[in-house]
Structure 1
Amino acid sequence: MAFSLFSGRSKVVNIVINDHSIRYVELKQKNPAVPLRFGQRFLPPGVISDGKIQDFDTLENILDECIEDWKIAKREVRFIVPDSLVMIRKVSIPADVKEDEIHGYLYLELGTAIHLPFEDPVFDIVSLGTEGKQQEVLVFASPEKYVTEYADLFKAVRLKPIAADISPLAIYRLYRQSDLAHSSEVLLSVQFDLDVVSMCVFEEHIPVFMRHIPGDLKENWKVKWSKGDSSEQEMVYEGEISELTFQLEDIYRDILKLMDFYRYSLSQGKKEVTKILVNGDHPMLGRIIADIKEQLEVPVDTLTVNIPGSEQDSFPNSFHLALGLGLKEVQ
């Protein structure tokens, strides 16, 4: 999916910005996905909140420094729209609306037959088929104001935005390329980041339901220089472990509630989640994966990406999202 603000294609960098970090990946090759270069920079608190830019000037200055350090000046860029700014909705429209007319039809029906929780959306669609006089389309929407603000940020630092994407689709591309996906499964993708937990249900490779849990998971996490490496930073927890445990347990319960909602409300008991995919940048992701395996009693998959010729055991989980973004084809 590409929000319809951009066009063009060439060798690009892939950037993911969330409330606490900026990450980039440049691919050496796409199949299999092999990263060429990657890097990250942690952000001060308050620069971005719930996906919305609060201090544009500070963010611009930091991104400008990143571009110089990473040597990606004047490059084309794909970026992720923060999950908190994205919604997925299934919409029924008349069967006689042609494919190239669907966008225009949806715009005309906004606010009357079609209701979104924000004004002036930018969106993309996936056709789900026709039955009788109706056809179903899946609408991915986000407020144009915020998508444009991120595009303006990249333009301000002399990058060229060519595509915006959403995290579930980016991760699913990597999952599918890893030969883990099956059309018969119902997959719950859980992106467990430090500032938000995003969940998306896939049926037959298509995302049909998305929900995110905003949280204050960043509380008591501090940026520190890595021991033995003065050039690398990491997030270190300085609070009470019991408090962190309570936070995680609350999120596990929310994941279970979403699974029950999907099973009993969305699919009327006809379908249920058959597999969970867990990814994210949370520093305790290993423990989180173990907890989910133990508590939710559903098979759990994770992503592993190896870098040929590298001394690293595998590519860091926190960069998987940017890597999956790099698999996107720009129309």
Structure 2
Amino acid sequence: MVFSLFSKKNRIINLVINDHSIRFLELKQEDPPTPQRWLERFLPPGIIRDGKIVDIDSLSSILEECIDEWKIKRRSIRFIVPDPLVIIRKVTIPADVQEDEIKGYLYLELGSSIHLPFEEPVFDYYSLPDNDKTRDLLLFAAPEQNVMEYVNLLSKLKMNPVSADISPLSLYRLYHKVDRAGGDEVLFTVQFDLTSVNLCIFDETIPLVMRHFGLPFDINQWEITRNSLGLMVGKYTGEPEELVLQFEDIFKEINKLMDFYRYSNNTEKPDITKFLLNGDHPLLMAIYDEMKERYEIPVDLLTIDKEAKSKHPSIPTNLLLPLGLALKEVQ
């Protein structure tokens, strides 16, 4: 999926910005997926909140430092639209709307028969199998104002934004590329990050539903350092019970979304067949172990170590999202 704001360019840098970090990755080769170089920078709380830029001056200064340090000025950029901004919604349109008329039809119906929680969205769609009377689409939308804040800021800093994606599709692209996907699969992806969790259910290759949840984050209860690879390492110094309560809330949301999927789809659809876990949370392995204990459904931790050749370094899990983004539209 591409939000239709951009033209295509070559030599593309892949950028992921969320509430707590900026990550950059440059692809060396597509098969096997191998990064040429990567770096990241921790973002202090309050600069971005729920995907929206709150302190644009501070973000601009930090991004400018990163661009100079990483030597990526004037490069073309793909970026992830922050998860809290994105909505995936199934919509139904008349079957006689022609393919080249769909986008115009959606523009006309937004705000009238198609309601979103924001005005002036930037959007894309995916056509689902239709019948004779109606046609179903998956609508991917985000508030244009917030997306354009990122685009304009990057452009102001001498970067060239050319493409945007959403995190579940980027992760699924990598998952499929390394031959982990199975036939007739209903995949439940869990992106568990330091300050948020994003849940998405795929029916084969189609992301049917997505939910995003923020996690309470107190910087005073974390020690953030860098490891030998220059990547962030977080150590929790607060009361363990607080994290347990956070995780319990997320497991409840996972259960709710599983129930929603079961009851909103017809009985011929299979149930969830696999969890796919990824993210940058420092306790990701503990979360993985807990999910394996709680659920009878298999839990797959997204890695590409088995596919990577021994001469290539292991790729940290917090870089798999920009790596999946890098596989988008590879020429």
TM-score, structure 1 as length reference: 0.94
Query: Counterpart of 1:250?
Result: 249
The alignment partner of 2:130 has SS state of strand
Q: Residues of 2 paired with 1:269 and 1:185: CA distance?
A: 14
Instruction: Tell me, yes or no, if the aligned pair for 2:27 and 2:37 is still in contact at 8 Å.
Output: yes
Q: How does 1:206-285 map to 2 (within 5 A)?
A: 206-217=206-217, 220-226=220-226, 233-267=232-266, 270-285=269-284
Q: How does 1:121-136 map to 2 (within 5 A)?
A: 121-136=121-136
Uncovered stretches (5+) of structure 2, i.e. residues with no partner = none
Instruction: Tell me, yes or no, if the aligned pair for 1:88 and 1:138 is still in contact at 8 Å.
Output: yes
Alignment RMSD = 1.9
The alignment partner of 2:151 has SS state of helix
Query: Counterpart of 2:161?
Result: 161
2:38 is the alignment partner of 1:38 = yes
> How far did residue 31 of structure 1 move?
2.1
Instruction: Tell me, yes or no, if the aligned pair for 1:88 and 1:210 is still in contact at 8 Å.
Output: yes
Query: Counterpart of 2:70?
Result: 70
Query: Counterpart of 2:292?
Result: 293
The alignment partner of 1:163 has SS state of strand
Instruction: Tell me, yes or no, if the aligned pair for 1:278 and 1:302 is still in contact at 8 Å.
Output: yes
Bigger shift: 263-272 or 177-186?
Answer: 263-272
Q: How does 1:54-203 map to 2 (within 5 A)?
A: 54-203=54-203
Query: Counterpart of 2:322?
Result: 322
Letter in 2 for 1:17: I
Q: Residues of 2 paired with 1:218 and 1:191: CA distance?
A: 20
Instruction: Tell me, yes or no, if the aligned pair for 2:171 and 2:321 is still in contact at 8 Å.
Output: yes
> How far did residue 296 of structure 1 move?
1.8
Q: Residues of 1 paired with 2:232 and 2:206: CA distance?
A: 36
Instruction: Tell me, yes or no, if the aligned pair for 1:19 and 1:47 is still in contact at 8 Å.
Output: yes
The alignment partner of 2:302 has SS state of coil
> How far did residue 230 of structure 1 move?
11
Query: Counterpart of 1:25?
Result: 25
Letter in 1 for 2:201: V
CA gap 1:299/1:263 in 2 versus in 1, 3 angstroms: same
> How far did residue 80 of structure 1 move?
0.3
The alignment partner of 1:130 has SS state of coil
Letter in 2 for 1:286: M
Q: Residues of 2 paired with 1:193 and 1:321: CA distance?
A: 11
Q: Residues of 1 paired with 2:97 and 2:83: CA distance?
A: 30
CA gap 1:245/1:105 in 2 versus in 1, 3 angstroms: same
CA gap 1:125/1:323 in 2 versus in 1, 3 angstroms: same
Q: Residues of 1 paired with 2:94 and 2:275: CA distance?
A: 35
CA gap 1:5/1:232 in 2 versus in 1, 3 angstroms: closer
Q: Residues of 2 paired with 1:310 and 1:210: CA distance?
A: 37
Uncovered stretches (5+) of structure 1, i.e. residues with no partner = none
The alignment partner of 1:146 has SS state of helix
Letter in 2 for 1:275: K
- The count of residues paired between Structure 1 and Structure 2 equals 329
Q: Residues of 2 paired with 1:189 and 1:232: CA distance?
A: 24
